Structure 1
Amino acid sequence: MKSDSPPRLTILMPIHRGLKWISSITATIDRSPVDCRIIVSDITLLDNTLDILEQRNQRDRRITFRRKQGAADWRIHVNELLTMVDSDFFSIMPQDDEFIPGYYESLLTALDSNPSAGLAFGVIDKLDLNKNEKSRMPGVPIPLGQKPAWQEAIYLDQHWNLGIPYRGVVRQKWNQPLPMFPYDFADQIWVFGIALQACLIEVPTAIYLKKYHDENTHSTWTPLSGETRQEVLRNEIKTKLASDPAAMHNALQELNQI
């Protein structure tokens, strides 16, 4: 299951009460590239999900099973996993979602073809498990890569859902921790920070299956007020563009006009 060359892609799978999603986790493992590394991690250890997965996949040398008792804070869990990435690319894969075969291969090909891009993502098919309905989430509203990265980042934050690229493949150069504030929608702010510095690529052939159900983490999140969100975005701009004063000034000016 493992080639002689080091893996180019690390797939991070934070687990929390994952017993219900064994089939989805197994689908992720089975559909992931042969030459990747998969880190399956549980920091709450509230059930025996890892024991079951480890028994089923004991011959799969791609997988590292990680157990560490800790608080049930999804940002802390993800940030710990991000420090373990030593490959050229990585991806964060939630336990309850799936993707079609070839998903990661398509995203890696797109990044190889666009060396200046920082993140490649696919399209999301929303699966409503309560209503048994399927629908396609909106794609990006503008052509990507035609404006400065910071300008596209601000536009996308205002007119789209930057949580969609969170499920893509990121170049290791742009590996950065999730912000500890806000707790809610920190995934969107994380993507915004990457998008400020490097362009994003949408790959329509890479299809991700996002499951909506009663236990979705985001179902309890509360959107930030406009003023608070603007302050969060300003802080990201000041931090991520500190080495480029001109871009930082322009980004702050554009944000102030919204």
Structure 2
Amino acid sequence: MYEKIQETASWLKERMTTTPQTAIILGTGLGQLASEITDSYSFPYSEIPNFPVSTVEGHAGKLIFGKLGGKDIMAMEGRFHYYEGYNMKEVTFPERVMYELGIKTLFVSNAAGGMNPEFKIGDLMVIDDHINFFPEHPLRGKNFPTGPRFPDMHEAYNKALRDEADLIAREKGIRIVHGTYVGVQGPTFETPKEYRMYHILGGDAVGMSTVPEVIVACHCGIKVFGISVITDLGGFDNPVKVSHEEVQEAANDAQPLMTEIMREMIKRS
């Protein structure tokens, strides 16, 4: 696997005309930020050696390079999920490649179901911590030379970046909330009792991604900032039916605010 990662990184380096140190993962319905990237060039996942291909509606499936906030960045428009049938090494393959390309900071976004009664649909939740409910760990197996066998996770989501987001949100009058993200396998949405259980265990939002990518980024020494768009609510007295289309729609509505915060954070970095 390590040889494949280096092969993919070499293929990209030969074709890159920029030197990004910041990467962004755009989750379900959040691809609009890609249109904000200037001086861009891109590679479809299908053309990149060894790269998986996203199969989920709302995930375009290409790697974009260019500028955002005046800085060189790379962005994944579409990610890979465990529920698609990929193993964890494949799900987190892009983060390994990012490290080889010199990425120092990763911005990760997702659409998530809110379980905190204080949340509203369309809220932006800065991720303070996560709870891992995936059945396979992305670091299982032989340790990669990019980090220790037993990496520390006490601050998986960088505190300075979270503080910066708070400052920018206050300056721009954008409502943001904070919370813990619960990562689950999917692809089913949660039952009312599952929502309630995750909330009792300390979760504020639940989704089917992000946690494996963040674990691998931390293992590589990459600083992480995570943000969830709350696209539906669950676990309360009145169960609410949810669909993938509704999740995409709610995420789409929240995109401009998320983009504004991320752009400004990258600009100030």
When normalised by structure 1's length, the TM-score is 0.30
Higher RCO (Cα < 8 Å, 6 or more apart): 2
| Structure of larger gyration radius | 1
